[in-house]
Chains A and B, each alone.
Chain A
Amino acid sequence: AFGLYFPRKEYLENVYIDEPAGMPLLRIHALKDSYEEAAHFHLCQNLIISRARSHENNWFQIREKTGLLYLSKSLDRDDFNMLSVGNWMPLSKVMLYVFLSSHPFQENECDSATRTTVFLSLINATAPACSSLTARQLCFTEMDLSFHIKENKPPGTFHQLQLPSVHHLCQNLSISYKLLAAEGLPFRYNENTTSVRVTQRLDREERERYELIAKCTVREGFREMQVEVPFLVNVLDEDDSPPFLPNGTDTADAVVEFNRKEGTVLATLTVYDADTTPIYPLESSRKKYTGTIVTDDPWISETFRVEHIFDEIHFSPNGSQVRGTRHEYKLVLNKSISVTEHRYFQLDVLVNDTEFHGSERSVMLHFNVSILPVSIQFSNVTYQFTVNRNAERFAQIGKICIENCMKFHGVNITYKLLSPNASCYPVGILQGREDKYGSLYVNDSSVLRRPECKEIQYTVQATDKQSRKHTKTLLTVVLEGTLLKKEEDCPDSCAISKHHAECEECGGLGVLTGRCQWRQGSGKGITTNYSTCTPSIKTCPDGICDVVESRDPAVCPQDCTSGNIIGGHGKGIGNLGIKSGHGICYCFPRQNCYCEKDDIKEQLCDEVCKTVI
């Protein structure tokens, strides 16, 4: 297989005006996939001048066998000016690609993916004298010494520390290198060639990063200068580890009971892999690591699906941290399951590491699935509610709920009142779209006032939409209390009242006992606990515009208003209602709400009063 590759993506070198033909610029190396391979280097395309211009390459060539890039023709000032056109920066950069092949170069072979980029900075000056260069410039280029080596590949030379151009120009200087912190590591520095070699096959799952130091010593007569730079080697991963189970766990229980909704995660099993899995691009990684339900039963394949997510985790095989992958396979309901369904079975999921070339490329996961039926029934034999005769329309009396109703997900229960065969029926039942319970409320307050209506019996029916299963129970509504005289000039909404006294004098839509209730807030800044007048502190304001409140904007504008709120306030979820307010909040239904400090008390104390104190 053609497995030659470059140990780095980019190379960088400076080129000066009038450097002679034959001037060596830089050495490029290639690493192999197998011992037999021989690397051939070549340049194919034009020079790419930054900003998308290109020009025929008349100046640079590479030695096919050694990878030495050199000047084949001197770059004079005219060449420079030509190559700088279109460049805005004072410093011009040209770019060329070096291609790699395992056999001698043939024409039109330049679309190979194996290439590296060489950036040449064109410097508008003749090469500086060796004595004017710093040790840093004499020893290393501006680029980091950072390399990548694939794991499980044969050893080979991947870098030459000496800069060919400096070596060529500054022969009177003695420049020597050393590789520090390399003891016990699989890298060897050759002093004669200044080249660095990886001495054995690397294993990323053992160690994925090597941090060495390249040290350079420049001697000129008796002067000596030293520079140290980091020398980094990253080990590239390939799929050479099979999936495995943490603690050997390959089985999990999946119980379907109250939560029967499509999308419910029933159980999760985890598979580890010592290899890395890139999350970018996501879809291709998902395809490489598959999880499929093994079944012939069409009902199972319709009802369940497996969702695969993965993330990076760390292993520490021998002190050093290496990255690995945790794959999670979640058994998910693909559709809502009927309350009558009742089954037990084992569901197998085959996980396949498709790029691993070995026999243990797959593992089988087992889910013990229990689908339990749930009964639709009322736990109380009968419901009894008392209602004050002074309650107003939309007063909330209580909630109707079948056994475990709040635990249900994906079960649609509807509640209905079967009216008695009498003339007294003051109450109704309402249910929000996602509500699991029914809210009992006063539907017709005039009935409450009629003396002949005292105790009213209803039958409540709860029905499961999907299975049409239903259950019934008895509901007794007892009317109590004596009728109060209605205050005159009272508004129909409690929320209009701005003061404690006027609030409790009046009634309004939604009140339970004929009178509105005052909520005294903390009075500190803009708070959720603001002062306000409400039909019932229990339900209004509670931050939720419930199904009864939403029937009439006069019931609880504090939870339901979508109009303007004047004064310091915060709006509720979805821009509905007053979540928090400053001082007292009051509302004119279908119009504005106001939140303001009640400052009458302060007005009582005028200048005279202050003087007395």
Chain B
Amino acid sequence: PPGPVGQDPRGWRVPVDCVRANELCAGEPSCSSRYRTLRQCLAGRDRNTMLANKECQAALEVLQESPLYDCRCKRGMKKELQCLQIYWSIHLGLTEGEEFYEASPYEPVTSRLSDIFRLASIFSGMDPAATSKSNHCLDAAKACNLNDNCKRLRSGYISTCSRELAGSEPCSRRKCHKALRQFFDRVPSEFTFRLLFCSCKDRACAERRRQTIVPSCSYEDKDRPNCLDLRSTCRADHLCRSRLADFHTNCQATFQSLTSCPGDNYQACLGSYAGLIGECCPGAGRGSLPPRLHPCPSPSSSSPGFDMTPNYIDASTTSITISPWCSCKGSGNMEEECEKFLRDFTENPCLRNAIQAFGNGSDVNVAP
């Protein structure tokens, strides 16, 4: 049961979403003028120069007490991009932007894997753990085809991603990513997780799992960019930056929990993994802020197809290795940092445990 207004039972402030916070702030003359000042302070300046300015510092202090300061966004909410734009308009200048891990702008996930299993067994009529001999990835595809919404959006992205084009490009990667994004945002995770994280005992099954996102179009590319280059391109875009920060927040391995996952929450980690799949810039500049404030690279810019979409690197059944399409070749003096970044995908015990737990139909029994 919710506690007093604005407080949760543990005494933490419960944030409002940034679109709402922006409206609240706009209704209050002192807040709105400070917010305008702060945005001007942050535009094109780094944190230190900004803090040196008295006016900027005053604006910051006032805003610390406003709901804008702690506001968050919801995944797949109605004005998600606008919400993220408001979030980063404040946080970009304050969190340095050069931090290795950034905090997620999304509300924490409170649901658990066990919720999915309960639902899954209702509509499939069987316990997923009991059917040990079957091809789980094939079962997942069947389950999707029996649901109108899942079937429609799945066939939507598959036909978009496998359409051959004339000329040098094999497919329209941009359209493919957009269709994938729609699938993962609009289809419940009971269906999408079963397709993405099904457990496999043979190569054919693992290959089907690898092929889930049509990697020839959405994942592979002629060249493998450097991972740090990829990260900086991702951070130039609000949505990609948010999804990456969310992945880091929910899948960052820690010694302080049994499962290596923050808060032992597998569902949150798998959700932010799925959040990385797909398009870089949906409707860039559609929000209320001027798009020039934080430019989003156009899809046709110098680095086409640069994105954080992760996938299984092969059809191995024994070891699960995930990676975005990048390498640490050519990192120069940043090789250590690059490898650390890549290891959060390739050698991440939290992510691996979460995928295995989903495949086995097991969840940690943690009292919420």
**Residues of chain A whose beta carbon lies under 8 Å from any beta carbon of chain B:** 9-10, 45, 50-54, 81, 84-91, 108, 110-111, 142, 146, 148, 234, 236-237, 276-282, 311-312, 323, 571-576
Neighbouring B residues of A45 by C-beta, 8 Å: 51
Q: Do A575 and B163 contact each other (CB < 8 Å), given the known contacts A52-B95, A111-B49?
A: yes
Query: Which one of B130-138, B139-147, B226-234 contacts A?
Result: B226-234
Flag if B49 contacts A50 (CB, 8 Å). Answer: no
A86 near B13 with CB under 8 A, answer yes
A237 and B95 form a contact (CB under 8 A): no
Inter-chain contact B13/A278, CB cutoff 8 Å = no
Which residue of B is nearest A86, CB measured? B70
Interchain Cβ contacts under 8 Å between A and B, 30 examples: A51-B103, A52-B69, A52-B90, A52-B91, A54-B94, A85-B12, A85-B13, A86-B69, A89-B263, A90-B263, A108-B52, A110-B48, A146-B336, A148-B333, A148-B336, A236-B333, A276-B332, A278-B331, A278-B332, A279-B229, A281-B229, A282-B229, A312-B330, A571-B164, A573-B165, A574-B164, A575-B163, A575-B164, A575-B165, A576-B166
**B202 is an interface residue with CB less than 8 A from chain A:** no
Distance in angstroms between the alpha carbons of A277 and B64 in the assembled complex: 43
Report the bound CA distance from A9 to B334 in whole Å.
11
For residue A282, which residues in chain B have a CB less than 8 angstroms away from its CB? 229
Chain B residues positioned under 8 Å from A88 (CB to CB): 12, 108
Interface set of B (CB-CB < 8 Å, partner A): 11-13, 48-49, 51-52, 64, 69-70, 90-91, 94-95, 100, 103, 108, 163-167, 226, 228-229, 232, 255-256, 262-263, 329-337
The 8 Å CB contact of A279, one of B11, B13, B52, B330, is B330
Q: Are B263 and A278 in contact (CB-based, < 8 A)? A: no
In the bound complex, residues from chain A placing their C-beta under 8 Å from that of B165 are 573-575
In the complex, what's the smallest C-beta–C-beta distance from A165 to chain B, in angstroms? 18
- Chain B proximity of A101: nearest CB distance (Å): 15
Q: Which residues of A contact B51 (CB under 8 A)?
A: 45
**Assuming A52-B94, A88-B12, A279-B229, is B333 touching A111 (CB within 8 A)?**
no
CB distance from A583 to the nearest CB of B (A): 22
B70 close to A311 (CB less than 8 A): no
A-B CB pair tally, cutoff 8 Å: 91
Tell me whether B13 and A234 are in contact (CB under 8 A). no
Report the Cα distance A280→B306, complex, angstroms.
Answer: 14
Given A52-B103, A148-B336, 15 additional A-B pairs, CB 8 A: A51-B91, A54-B94, A86-B69, A87-B12, A111-B49, A234-B336, A276-B333, A278-B226, A278-B334, A279-B226, A281-B232, A323-B335, A572-B164, A574-B166, A574-B167
10 tightest Cβ-Cβ pairs between the two chains A and B: A278-B332, A574-B166, A279-B330, A52-B94, A280-B229, A111-B48, A276-B332, A280-B226, A236-B333, A312-B330
CB atoms of A50 and B103 under 8 A apart: yes
User: B329, A311: Cβ atoms under 8 Å?
Assistant: yes
A277 to B226, CA, bound (A): 12
Give bound CA distance, A142 to B228, whole Å. 24
- With A50-B103, A88-B12, A110-B48 in contact, do A142 and B255 touch (Cβ < 8 Å)? yes
User: How far, in angstroms, from A576 to B94 measured CA to CA in the complex?
Assistant: 53
Partner of A311, one of B12, B256, B330, B337: B330
Q: Check B333 against A237 for contact (C-beta < 8 Å).
A: yes
Q: Is the CB of B332 within 8 A of A53?
A: no
Contacts of B166 in A (CB 8 A): 573-574, 576
Closest to B49 in A: A111
Distance, CA A53 to CA B108, complexed state (A)? 18
A45 to B47, CA, bound (A): 11
In the bound complex, what is the Cα–Cα distance between A201 and B213 (angstroms)? 50
CB distance from A561 to the nearest CB of B (A): 15
Tell me how far the C-beta of B125 lies from the nearest C-beta in chain A, rounded to whole angstroms. Answer: 32
Pick from B90, B229, B330, B336: contact of A277, CB under 8 Å: B330
> Nearest Cβ distance between residue A12 and chain B, in whole angstroms?
12
CA distance in complex: A111, B13 (Å): 33
Which residues of chain B are within 8 angstroms of A278 by Cβ–Cβ distance? 226, 330-334
Hey, which chain B residues are within 8 Å of A10, CB to CB? 100
**Contact indicator A277/B332 (Cβ below 8 Å):** yes
Contact B331 A280 (CB under 8 A): yes
Considering only CB atoms, which chain B residue lies closest to A110 in the complex? B48
A573 engages B329 (CB within 8 Å): no
Residues on B with beta carbons closer than 8 Å to the beta carbon of A111: 48-49, 52
Point out the residues of chain A lying under 8 angstroms from B52, CB to CB: 108, 111
**Which residue of chain A has its CB nearest to the CB of B60?**
A54
**Residues in chain A near residue B94, CB distance under 8 A:** 52, 54
Residue of B52, B70, B91, B167 contacting most chain A CB atoms (<10 Å): B70
Complex: A192 Cα to B58 Cα, angstroms:
49
A50 to B94 CA separation, bound complex (whole angstroms):
10
- Give Cα A148 to B337, complex, Å: 11
- Taking CB atoms, residues of chain B closer than 8 Å to A281 are 229, 232
CB-defined contacts of A571 to chain B, threshold 8 Å: 163-164
Q: Are A89 and B336 in contact (CB under 8 A)?
A: no
CB distance from B250 to the nearest CB of A (A): 11
Q: How far is the CA of A81 from the CA of B11 in the complex (A)?
A: 10
Measured between beta carbons, the chain B residues less than 8 angstroms from A237 are: 332-333
Q: How far is the CA of A110 from the CA of B46 in the complex (A)?
A: 13
With A and B bound together, what is the CA distance between A312 and B34 in angstroms? 49
CA–CA, A91 and B167, complex, Å: 53
User: In the docked arrangement, what's the CA distance between A81 and B12, Å?
Assistant: 10
Q: Give A579's nearest chain B residue, CB to CB.
A: B164
Residues from chain B with a CB closer than 8 A to the CB of A81 are 11
CB distance from A105 to the nearest CB of B (A): 16
| A146 to B337 CA separation, bound complex (whole angstroms) | 11
A575 vs B11: C-alpha distance when bound (angstroms):
59
Query: If A280-B330, A312-B329, A571-B164 touch, does A234 touch B335 (CB 8 Å cutoff)?
Result: yes
Question: Which of A89, A146, A236, A279 is the one whose CB lies under 8 Å from B262?
Answer: A89
- Shortest distance from the beta carbon of B60 to any chain A beta carbon, whole Å: 8
Q: Across the two chains, which residue of chain A brings its CB closest to B163?
A: A575
- In angstroms, how far is the closest chain B Cβ from the Cβ of A95? 9
A50: which B residues are within 8 A, CB to CB? 103
Give the shortest distance, in Å, between B131 (CB) and chain A (any CB).
30
A282 to B12, CA, bound (A): 45
Contacts of A86 in B (CB 8 A): 13, 69-70
Residue on B nearest A576 in the bound complex, by CB: B166
**C-alpha spacing A146/B343, complex, angstroms:** 15
Nearest CB on A from B366, distance (A): 12
Q: Smallest distance from the beta carbon of A128 to chain B beta carbons, Å?
A: 14
Bound together, the chains give a CA A571 to CA B159 distance in angstroms of: 12
Which B residues lie within 8 Å of A277 (CB)?
A: 330, 332
Contacts of A323 in B (CB 8 A): 335
A279 to B338, CA, bound (A): 12
- Asked if B330 and A53 sit within 8 Å, CB to CB, the answer is no
Chain A contacts of B12 at CB under 8 A?
84-85, 87-88
CB nearest to B327 among chain A residues = A312
Q: How far is the CA of A234 from the CA of B336 in the complex (A)?
A: 8
CA distance A148 to B165 in the complex (A): 48
Closest to A283 in B: B302
In the complex formed, the residue of A with least CB distance to B328 is A312
Partner of B64, one of A53, A87, A90, A311: A53
Max chain A C-beta neighbours (<10 A), residue from B70, B90, B332? B332
Expressed in whole angstroms, the Cα–Cα distance for A167 and B87 within the complex equals 43
Bound-state CA distance A576–B165 (Å) is 9
A273 to B64, CA, bound (A): 52
Report the bound CA distance from A281 to B231 in whole Å. 12
Residues on the A chain within 8 Å of B64, using CB: 53
**Closest CB-CB distance, B34 to chain A, in whole Å?**
15
Q: List residues of chain B with CB within 8 A of the CB of A108.
A: 52
Please measure, in the bound complex, the distance between the C-alpha atom of A323 and the C-alpha atom of B334, giving whole angstroms.
13
Question: How far apart sit A574 and B100, CA to CA, in the bound complex (Å)?
Answer: 43
Q: How far is the CA of A51 from the CA of B12 in the complex (A)?
A: 13
Contact of B333 with A53 in the complex, beta carbons under 8 Å: no
How far apart are A412's CB and chain B's nearest CB, in angstroms? 20
* Chain B nearest Cβ from A578, distance in angstroms: 13
**B49 / chain A contacts, CB cutoff of 8 Å:** 111
Closest-by-CB residue of A relative to B229 is: A280
Nearest A residue to B11, CB-CB = A81
